[in-house]
Amino acid sequence: MVAKTKKYPNKQSNAGRTILKIFGWILLVAIISFGALTGLKIYRDSKIAKDEGVRDVNTADVDNDSVKSAEPDKDKKTTQGNDAKTKTDELEKQQAKKVPRNENGLKVANVVLNEPYFIEENKKVVVSSTITNVVETEGNCVYIFTNGPLSLTKKMKVLPNAKNTVCEAVVLDKDSLSAGQWKVRLEYKSNYSEGVSETQTFTIQ
C-alpha cells in the first residue's frame, strides 16, 4: 500500500506576495498624494497670481479715479477764481458808471450840504456835509459863507469812513456873523474827484 503524501502551501511565497501587494498600495497612495499636492500647489499659485493681477488693476483704477476726482477740483478752483475776477471787474465797471467824470477827468463828487442849525444855549451855528459817492482819505472841504458883499471861508478836514467821505462840521459863533440872510455852500476837491454842493441859507437876527 502506497502512502499519500500531503502537500502544504508554501508559506514563504505567500508572504512575499503579501509584501508586494502592500508595497504596491503604498506606492499608489504616494503617487496619488503627490499628484494631489502638485495640483493643489498649481491651483494656489494661479489663484495668487490672479488676485495680484486684480489688485493691480484695482490700484490702477483707484489712481485713475483720484486723478479724475482731482481734475474737477482744479477746474472748480479755476472757475471760482475766474468768477471772482469777473465779479470784481463788473463791480469796478458799475462804480465807474455810477461816478461820472468832469471835463478835467476827475470824478464828479456828490456833495450834500446839510441844513445849518443853531445851538441856542451857546449861540453857535453848525454846518456839516457829506460826499456820498466817493471814499477818500485826502481832500479839501471848503465852506464858503456869503451875505451880500460879506464873505467867510472855512477849510475843514476830511473824515473818511467805510461808505462815504464826511467833511468836518463848521461851528461858528452867531456873534461873529452880521445880521441878515447868509448863504453857504461847500466846495470839495481832491486828486481824484471834485464837486460843489447846493446852497443852503440861514438867518442871523
Q: What does the pLDDT average to over 148-152?
A: 96
Hey, how many other C-beta atoms are within 10 angstroms of the C-beta on 28?
10
Are 55 and 137 members of one domain? no
Last residue of a domain, one of 80, 98, 116: 98
Last residue of a domain, one of 49, 66, 98: 98
- Position 23 pLDDT exceeds 80: no
- Per-residue burial over 143-164, b if 16 or more Cβ lie within 10 Å, else e, is bbbebeeeebebebebeeeeeb
177 falls within a domain: yes
Are 120 and 147 members of one domain? yes
Q: What is the pTM of this model?
A: 0.53
- Average pLDDT score, the chain: 79
- Position 135 pLDDT exceeds 50: yes
Q: What whole-number percentage of the chain has pLDDT above 90?
A: 46
Lowest mean pLDDT among 30-34, 116-120, 128-132: 30-34
